[in-house]
């Protein structure tokens, strides 16, 4: 049982590092798009559309099976999550359009603090937020801010 938990943790860390790399790549490409090719809202719309197509094509079988069994509350939460993500992406492209990517990325990277705060308020029975988690997040965000504002 313990090995399974470690394996899952390693997979989670691996996927987190992959996500960080892909988000960084997204920032660079997003800056190029908003500077040279289109408005932030067009970039945002197509980014979300292509993300939906890519995700849907990879996970379509799983999604179509599980979607049948979701409750109404689940659909509401999924909808809220989707709206928050879409607005976040739109804000991301708007910021990239008017500010340097090396400034935008660190500011957006403050979201873990907001996530920890929200988790401690809304996910008390599901997520355990420790002092070490909060301290680590604050240290990481401070370091990211130094990098971003140091330019």
Same domain, 59 and 130: no
Same domain, 7 and 76: yes
Residue 95: per-residue pLDDT: 92
Residue-range definition of the domain harbouring residue 33: 2-99
Residue 69: per-residue pLDDT: 85
| Entry field: residues in the chain | 151
Number of Cβ atoms within 10 Å of the Cβ of 145 = 15
Beta-carbon contacts of residue 9 (< 8 Å; ≥ 6 apart) = none
Residue 75 pLDDT > 70, yes or no? yes
Q: pLDDT tens-digit profile of 43-53? A: 888 888 888 88
What's the total number of domains in the chain? 2
Asked whether residue 104 is assigned to any structural domain, the reply reads no
Judged by DSSP in three states, 52 sits in helix
The alpha carbon of 76 is separated from its chain's Cα centroid by a whole number of angstroms, namely: 19
Residue 76: per-residue pLDDT: 92
Same domain, 82 and 130: no
Same domain, 76 and 122: no
Q: Give the pTM.
A: 0.71
Same domain, 93 and 117: no
Residue 2: per-residue pLDDT: 64
């Amino acid at each position: 049982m313990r090995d399974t938990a470690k394996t899952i943790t390693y997979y989670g860390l691996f996927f987190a590092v992959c996500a960080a790399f892909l988000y960084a790549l997204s920032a660079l490409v997003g800056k190029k798009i908003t500077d040279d090719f289109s408005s932030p809202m067009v970039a945002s719309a197509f980014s979300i559309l292509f993300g939906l197509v890519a995700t849907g094509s990879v996970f379509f079988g799983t999604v179509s099976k599980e979607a049948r069994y979701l409750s109404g509350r689940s659909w509401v939460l999924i909808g809220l999550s989707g709206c928050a993500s879409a607005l976040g992406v739109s804000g991301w492209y708007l910021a990239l359009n008017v500010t340097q990517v090396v400034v935008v990325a660190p500011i957006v990277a403050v979201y873990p603090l907001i996530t920890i705060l929200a988790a401690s308020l809304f996910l008390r029975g599901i997520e355990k937020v420790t002092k070490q988690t909060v301290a680590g997040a604050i240290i990481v965000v401070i370091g990211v801010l130094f990098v971003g504002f140091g330019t």
